[in-house]
C-alpha cells in the first residue's frame, strides 16, 4: 500500500489558522459581533507575549467560534468560507507546501486540523490533496448550526489510517508544529517538528526527531534523527 503523509494545516501549512481566518471574516461580514473578537484578540495578545501556548490560544478561538456560530445558517457561513479559502493574501509556509506538493507522487496526503470540517474540505479541494479532516459542526433541520462541535484524537486517527506492509510503514511521515501534534508524530516512522512550540520542541529533542525551522525563504534543520533517511530529500 502507498505510504501516508500526515500534516497539520494550521501553523504548519498555513501561516494563520484557517479557523482564525474564518473568525475574522465572520466579524468583518457582520455575522459575529465585534465584541466577540475582543476575546480572541486578548488571547492572541497573550500568546504573542509568550504568556500562553499557541494551543491555548487556538482552543479559545475554537470555543468562541463554536459558541457564536450557533443559529447562523450554513449557507451564509459557507459563502464566507469560500471567500477565506480563495483569499490570495493567505500565506503558506513555502517548504511545507513544497513537501506536500512533491509527495503527490509518493504518498497518500492527509491533512488534519481543529478548524471546522466544512472549511477544511473547501481548503483541501483547492489544494488538491487526498483527504482532510477537521472539527465537525452539527447542523439542525433548518440548516442552522447548533453550536456543538465534535473533534477527534489525531493519534487515534493516524493509527486508523496507517498503511499496511512494512515498506509503506517505514516511509510514513507526519509534520506538525505544536504539542497538539505530538501523538500524530509519535505514530509514524518519519516525524518532523516544524517551527515547533516549546512543548513539541522539548519532545522532539528528547526523542531525536528532526526539527525544521523556516525563516523567510530559508529552511534550517536544527536537529535530526540519526539512522533514518532525511525527509529533506523530498523537497
Q: What is the CA radius of gyration of the chain?
A: 18
- Does this model's pTM top 0.85? yes
Can you list the domains of the chain with their CATH numbers? 4-234 (3.40.50.1000)
C-alpha cell at 38: 475582543
Q: Could you list the pLDDT tens digit for every one of the 235 residues in the chain?
A: 789 999 999 999 999 999 999 999 999 999 999 999 999 999 999 999 989 888 889 889 999 999 999 999 999 999 999 999 999 889 999 999 999 999 999 999 999 998 999 999 999 999 999 999 999 999 999 999 999 888 888 888 898 898 776 567 888 999 999 999 999 999 999 999 999 988 999 999 999 999 999 987 788 877 554 434 344 444 4
Amino acid at each position: 500500500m502507498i505510504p501516508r503523509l500526515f500534516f497539520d494545516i494550521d501553523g504548519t501549512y498555513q501561516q494563520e489558522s484557517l479557523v482564525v481566518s474564518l473568525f475574522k471574516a465572520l466579524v468583518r461580514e457582520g455575522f459575529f459581533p465585534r465584541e466577540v473578537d475582543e476575546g480572541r484578540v486578548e488571547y492572541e495578545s497573550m500568546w504573542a507575549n509568550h504568556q500562553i501556548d499557541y494551543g491555548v490560544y487556538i482552543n479559545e478561538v475554537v470555543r468562541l467560534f463554536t459558541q457564536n456560530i450557533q443559529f447562523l445558517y450554513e449557507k451564509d457561513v459557507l459563502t464566507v468560507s469560500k471567500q477565506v479559502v480563495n483569499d490570495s493574501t493567505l500565506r503558506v509556509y513555502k517548504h511545507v507546501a513544497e513537501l506536500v506538493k512533491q509527495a503527490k507522487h509518493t504518498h497518500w496526503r492527509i491533512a488534519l486540523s481543529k478548524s471546522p470540517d466544512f472549511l477544511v474540505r473547501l481548503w483541501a479541494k483547492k489544494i488538491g490533496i487526498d483527504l482532510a479532516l477537521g472539527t465537525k459542526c452539527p447542523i439542525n433541520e433548518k440548516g442552522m448550526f447548533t453550536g456543538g462541535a465534535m473533534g477527534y484524537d489525531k493519534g487515534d486517527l493516524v493509527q486508523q489510517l496507517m498503511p499496511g506492509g512494512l515498506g509503506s510503514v517505514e516511509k510514513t511521515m507526519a509534520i506538525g508544529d505544536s504539542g497538539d501534534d505530538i501523538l500524530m508524530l509519535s505514530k509514524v516512522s518519519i516525524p518532523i517538528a516544524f517551527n515547533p512550540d516549546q512543548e513539541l520542541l522539548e519532545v522532539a529533542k528528547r526523542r531525536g526527531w528532526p526539527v525544521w525551522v523556516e525563516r523567510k525563504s530559508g529552511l534550517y534543520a536544527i536537529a535530526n534523527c540519526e539512522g533514518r533517511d532525511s525527509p529533506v530529500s523530498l523537497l
